[in-house]
Each structure stands twice: as structure tokens, then as C-alpha cells.
Amino acid sequence: MELSAQRWIFIVHLALCLVVQRVFGGEDPQIDPKGYVVYCPCMGRFGNQADQFLGALAFIKTLDRTMVLPPWVEYGKPGSKPGSSQIPFDTYFKVEPLTKYHRVITMEVFMKKLAPKVWPLGQRKGFCHTFRGGDSCKMKEGNPFGPFWDNFNVDFDSYVEFGGGLNYIPSSSNAKKWNERFPASEYPVLAFGGAPGSFPVLEENVPLHQYLVWSDKIEKQASDFITKKLPEGPFLGVHMRNGLDWVNVCNNHVGVEQNRHLFGSPQCLGYRFEHGQVTKDMCFPPDDLVKRQIRRRVKKMKAKSVFVAADADPMMMVLTRMLEPIKVRVLQFDEHELHVELAILARADHYIGNCISTFSAFAARERGVTGKSTSFWAVDEVLDKDKIKKKKKRAHAEDEL
């Protein structure tokens, strides 16, 4: 029996309504009997938070609890609140790709629709490795800790000290200890004052970056910029980390100790220092080195444009004077929105980043997913996958001798 046109319209309309309800949270999410993990991404800015996010994602998957996606913590943006602001996770990234790896839910949806049932007022416990005086984790002291939890009207009724051999290593044996000591039936929500993930990101967790997919808004801004400003040929993307705070980091921490990583340095030195040690030029490259490296790369790839992202001095006038005679343009993203800049850098035909910077590392990881080439200031070797694999095999063989 054939359906009438009106009947078909009704069915399509109903289906669309169900999709809209599911996507925008009109439909109540079901409670996960295996529990949840909530945490504050309270260490550093975006690059550091992203590193720890990957570790937290891996750890929470081994616990087999639902990951509550925290907002990103931002500081000092124009129009932002004093102290810090909490930006919903899905402002910058899509949620759906993460579900291909594990169960996730945004904190906004969790607090509105599930917390009253599984984490009600009066039963909110905070977890920390060691109490910080008395029987408290003091999870709301200072910025961004206080503003983060206050953003969701969370006060802790009691605290739990886990210590005793438990950690955030994503392994089945560790997960078993956690679940035996804190079963979801008694502890439906594990709430941590910091990210339950390693920093810098562990080598085995780097591939998880494939599940971080830019939101449509960020992707559109990046695509529109490339289409309008960089349409005529290959472009080189570069990231310069040269603010005063970074200069102090490089001066105070580089060369203090051998075989010691600094922030994102494993990305170009290898996790076992297969490619050398941290140097000041890697951390804060001199202007002459920057100019020389850009000039060589532009010539090698026959670039038509250079896209610059910088936290302080982008060297626009210097680079423009240097490249103007060979008709290579130097551009920035006018709004200086760091997430859009990262999305543009990830799509460059070649990318030069800062070996030590976790901001640089974010773009480098995304490029690793798509197979695009990356190099770093003062590090000559392009990250060639085959070369790295061979070096790792040799280092592993030497370890076993």
C-alpha cells in the first residue's frame, strides 16, 4: 500500500524532530551505570590542557566510565571575566568524533540533565591524591579552580584521598585497582581537581588526537581565510613563541638538567631523546635563525605565502622586507583567534613550529594525522615517519642489550 504525500511529510518531519532533540539535548541522556569522571583542566593554557586531555581520555576509557568533557579554561581574553572563563568544549571541537573512541558527554549537559540524579547536592565528593590540610582536597582554592566549579554551582560536601598506589596511568591493571576501590555503585562520579592525564602527553596517547575534530565554526573560519588570502599556491605556516613569559621559561629552564624534557619537547626530540637535547635556540630561536630557516623552506617548497601565528612579535615587517623581492606574501589572521590559527597551521603545505611549545605541538599532532610535513626551529630534521620508526627500533634494541 502506497503512502500518501501527507503521510510521507509527517514521517520525515517526525524523524527530523527526533534528530534535533538528540543533537541539541532535548532528549534526556540515559544514566551510565558504569559511572562518570569529571575534572578541571586547571593546568596552563590551551596547549597544556589539550596535552592532558588526551591522557585523560585514555585513562577514563580504561576505567570504562563516561568522560564528562570539561570546558576549556581561558584567561584574559577581551570581555572575559576576571580570573578565568570557561568555554564549552564543543565551541571548538565536535563531540561526535570522540564517541568513536569512547563514551563522552559535555559538562553542560551532564550538570543540567544527569547530575541531579547521579551527583545530587549533598553527595558531591572531590578526589585528590593527598589531602592538603585536614581532610580536604581544597579543590576550589584559587584561580582557575574556584571559578571553574562555581561556573556549574558545584560545592563539594566531602573529599576522598586516593593515594595508595593509584595513579592516572591508562592500563588495565591500574583501572582494575580503581574500580575495585571506587566501584561506580558507591562512587558514581569521580571528580578531580586536575586532569587525570600525564603531561606532556604520553607517546602512546598521541594518536588519540585524530578524535579531536574542529567545530564547523572554527573550520569555516580557517577555510575562508585560506580560500580568500592564500589561494594562489603552496603556503608555509610558522608558529613563533616569543612573549616575555616564554623568554623567561627558556632562560630559566633550558640546560638545567640533561635528559629532561620541557613541555612539548618530546615531539621533536623523541621520548627517549633519540634526536638530541633541549637547546635555547629550539626554545627561543634568534631572529637570524628564524629568517634563515623560513628563507630556506620557502625556496625549497616554492611557497607563495607565509602564514605567521605568534603570541608576541610576528616579525611581520622583517619577514615582509626579506620575502618581498621574491614576491612571497606574509600574512596573519587578523582576529588573532588562536584556535583558528591552529586550524590554518594544520593545513599549511609545510609547518615550522616551536619544539618546546605545546601550542606548536597541537598543530604538529593534527598534521601527523593527515600526513603533512613538519619541522621545528633549530631542528633540521623533518619529522619523517620512516626515519623515526627506524631510530626507535635501534634505540629499543640497544636498551635490551
What pLDDT is stored for residue 24 in this prediction? 37
Q: Dump pLDDT digits (tens) for 286-316.
A: 999 999 999 999 999 999 999 999 999 999 9
Spatial distance between the Cα atoms of 134 and 154, rounded to a whole number of angstroms: 21
Question: Is position 294 within any domain?
Answer: yes
> Is pLDDT above 60 for 44?
yes
The answer to whether residues 173 and 219 belong to one domain is no
Between 160 and 22, the higher pLDDT residue: 160
> Is pLDDT above 70 for 10?
no
Grid cell locating 102? 569512547
8's enclosing H/E stretch is: helix 5-24
> Is pLDDT above 70 for 279?
yes
What pLDDT is stored for residue 21 in this prediction? 36
Question: Is position 2 within any domain?
Answer: no
Q: Dump pLDDT digits (tens) for 303-351.
A: 999 999 999 999 999 999 999 999 999 999 988 899 999 999 999 999 9
What pLDDT is stored for residue 46 in this prediction? 96
Q: What is the pTM of this model?
A: 0.86
The answer to whether residues 280 and 179 belong to one domain is no
Grid cell locating 154? 558545584
Task: Enumerate the β-bridge partners of residue 379.
Answer: 376
Question: Is position 1 within any domain?
Answer: no
Question: Is position 271 within any domain?
Answer: yes
Neighbouring residues of 386: CB distance < 8 A, sequence distance ≥ 6: none
3-class SS at 330?
strand
Spatial distance between the Cα atoms of 110 and 190, rounded to a whole number of angstroms: 13
Spatial distance between the Cα atoms of 296 and 136, rounded to a whole number of angstroms: 56
Q: How confident is the model at residue 99 (pLDDT cuts 50, 70, 90)?
A: very high
The answer to whether residues 254 and 367 belong to one domain is yes
What pLDDT is stored for residue 3 in this prediction? 44
Instruction: List phi, psi (to 5°) of 115.
Output: -55, -40
The answer to whether residues 73 and 178 belong to one domain is yes
> Is pLDDT above 70 for 195?
yes
What pLDDT is stored for residue 397 in this prediction? 57
The answer to whether residues 137 and 259 belong to one domain is no
The answer to whether residues 193 and 168 belong to one domain is yes
What pLDDT is stored for residue 134 in this prediction? 87
What pLDDT is stored for residue 2 in this prediction? 45
266's enclosing H/E stretch is: helix 266-269
Spatial distance between the Cα atoms of 292 and 360, rounded to a whole number of angstroms: 19
Instruction: Give the number of other CB atoms < 10 A from CB of residue 30.
Output: 7
Q: Dump pLDDT digits (tens) for 219-269.
A: 999 999 999 999 888 999 999 999 999 999 999 988 767 778 899 999 999
Say how many residues make up the chain: 401
- CATH number, domain containing residue 57: 3.40.50.11340
Residue percentage of the chain with pLDDT more than 70: 86
Spatial distance between the Cα atoms of 370 and 291, rounded to a whole number of angstroms: 27
Question: Is position 361 within any domain?
Answer: yes
**What is the distance between the terminal CA atoms of the chain, rounded to a whole angstrom?**
76
Average pLDDT, the chain: 89
Question: Is position 78 within any domain?
Answer: yes
99's enclosing H/E stretch is: none
Question: Is position 192 within any domain?
Answer: yes
The answer to whether residues 244 and 108 belong to one domain is no
What pLDDT is stored for residue 49 in this prediction? 97
> Is pLDDT above 60 for 398?
no
What pLDDT is stored for residue 381 in this prediction? 52
The answer to whether residues 112 and 221 belong to one domain is no
- CATH number, domain containing residue 312: 3.40.50.11350
> Is pLDDT above 50 for 22?
no
> Is pLDDT above 90 for 80?
no
Residue 400: burial class (beta carbons within 10 Å; 0-12, 13-18, 19+): exposed
Between 253 and 124, the higher pLDDT residue: 124
Cα 293 to Cα 236, 238, 243, 363: the distances in Å are: 11, 10, 20, 19
The answer to whether residues 184 and 299 belong to one domain is no
Q: Dump pLDDT digits (tens) for 154-188.
A: 999 999 999 878 999 999 999 999 999 999 999 99
Between 358 and 76, the higher pLDDT residue: 358
Residue 166: give the domain boundaries: 12-203
Spatial distance between the Cα atoms of 218 and 230, rounded to a whole number of angstroms: 17
Distance of CA 352 to the CA centre of its chain: 19
The answer to whether residues 237 and 379 belong to one domain is yes
> Is pLDDT above 60 for 400?
no
Do the beta carbons of residue 355 and residue 379 sit within 8 Å?
A: yes
Q: What does R_g of the chain's alpha carbons equal in angstroms?
A: 24
Domain count of the fold of the chain: 2
* AA letter at 138: K
For the four alpha carbons of 146, 151, 156 and 160, in that order, the dihedral sign comes to negative
The answer to whether residues 288 and 178 belong to one domain is no
Grid cell locating 324? 618581498
The answer to whether residues 126 and 190 belong to one domain is yes
